[in-house]
């Protein structure tokens, strides 16, 4: 992935994502995660409809222990 245009002030920054550190599970230090969906319920009073609304939001859980890192919690 080429992210060379991330610099400010006209400067280009070369970034190789493969060289970036892996994110680890805060519980077991595993580096593999599965994508999961959290469903948020929005009150009909807030959205002005006759029924509550459900909004799916993606996050990630550890493949080993099922933990969701605090940075991933919605």
Q: Is the pTM of the predicted complex or chain greater than 0.75? A: no
- Domain assignment of residue 61, yes or no: yes
- Domain assignment of residue 64, yes or no: yes
- Domain assignment of residue 3, yes or no: no
Domain extent at residue 27 = 22-72
Where the chain has pLDDT below 50, the residues are none
How many domains does the structure of the chain reveal?
1
- Domain assignment of residue 46, yes or no: yes
Give the pLDDT score at 49.
Answer: 94
Quote the Cα angle for 40-42-46, to 5°: 155
- Domain assignment of residue 51, yes or no: yes
Give the pLDDT score at 5.
Answer: 58
What does the alpha-carbon distance between residue 59 and residue 49 come to, in Å, rounded to a whole number?
27
């Amino acid at each position: 992935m080429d992210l060379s245009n991330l610099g400010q002030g006209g400067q280009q920054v070369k970034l190789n994502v493969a060289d970036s550190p892996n994110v680890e599970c805060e519980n077991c230090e595993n580096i593999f995660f599965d994508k999961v969906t959290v469903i948020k319920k929005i009150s009909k009073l807030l959205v002005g409809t006759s029924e509550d609304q459900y909004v799916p939001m993606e996050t990630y859980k550890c493949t080993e222990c099922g933990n969701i890192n605090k940075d991933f919690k919605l």
